[in-house]
Structure 1
């Protein structure tokens, strides 16, 4: 059974599908979630706080999907996983999830592209007298800190890929995985912005690109120093 917070966020997401965020009324969201309006404000502080929580949840949901894709590698006919094929299969799964999530969820699309329209909640961090939110609800304090921008979200995907696929590998192999992950994310984002008619064409193009030799460029960023904290 969902918590009151989750029920309210679900109700807000449903309401957002039918009207722009400025037209979503908190009293209607509370009624749809069968929660009092006072409980809503106790949880989120304000409509702006509610917006930050909703955007933060969708960002977390997208990254959880990335982790599921990275955990779903395939094995060969003998039952033994091929390390190279496993990396490719999992990165393709991440890319396919990214494109599908952006197509189905306007908030995920906005998070990935940075294109926020007037119909969507604003992702700006809370303004406080200190550098951290003073909200007593821990989940809201995290939301009030703001949601990741496109570059930070792409870095979070790369860091998760390295954590999942880089164990037990040499420094050169980890660098190669980082390059291929960067390639995967950039190609996926291009298809988010300009969708293809067929998902099969995208998967074929990505597999072709990932099958090529490593071309680690000088401008490729390394793992984020905060990767372990995400």
Structure 2
């Protein structure tokens, strides 16, 4: 019975998040109301409040769900270039920036922010969770395994730099996703290998 209840609750949460996603993508976050989410999800407002508690909690869950999808895609890109840090960074950052361009929720958040409504944007920028903390923890764990020759301090700086620069370019793009990815990857490689050469003698940062 406990497992059944957990399964029903998980389905309910996905149903709510799917409804909220559609509404935010169509109309933006600022005008979204809990009553509208409940109607779109086919549940009562009381059920919605019992499950999430607040609109802010739904926003957090929405961003967390999108982030999880992003991170799975990023890992696939990194794995395809596992032996070369800079090439892997280009692929991972490029994937993220292009996905941000194509993602209806992210586009809606950014358009709303440019119009002065930035409540949901805070989950991508000023709030450390879920984006920064989750992304940095994943990338740090990956880097330990994939690039063990990078020392701990350089690895930490490189991971924080690539995450913060990528989010910055999502929020305020200054070039194409491809060009931005190359620049961010180059910076990351130089931080990871501050001398410009890997310990095994192979050049990495240019």
Return the TM-score normalized by structure 1: 0.58
The unaligned stretches of length 5 or more in structure 1 are 76-80, 124-145, 217-230
1:199 to 167, 177, 190: 177
**Aligned residue number for residue 57 of structure 2:** 52
State the shift of 1:117 in Å: 4.7
Secondary structure in 2 matching 1:3: helix
Change (3 A) 1:148 1:15: same
* Structure 1 residues 109-128: aligned runs within 5 Å: 117-118=116-117, 120=119
* Structure 1 residues 1-230: aligned runs within 5 Å: 3-21=11-29, 23-45=31-53, 49-72=54-77, 73-74=79-80, 82=83, 85=84, 87-103=85-101, 104=103, 105-106=105-106, 117-118=116-117, 120=119, 149-152=126-129, 153-167=131-145, 172-212=150-190, 214-215=193-194
Change (3 A) 1:210 1:25: closer
The number of equivalent residue pairs is 180
The unaligned stretches of length 5 or more in structure 2 are 1-7, 196-206
Residues of 2 paired with 1:56 and 1:108: CA distance? 16
**Superposition RMSD in Å:** 4.0
Higher helix share: 2
Residues of 2 paired with 1:197 and 1:169: CA distance? 28
Residues of 1 paired with 2:121 and 2:132: CA distance? 20
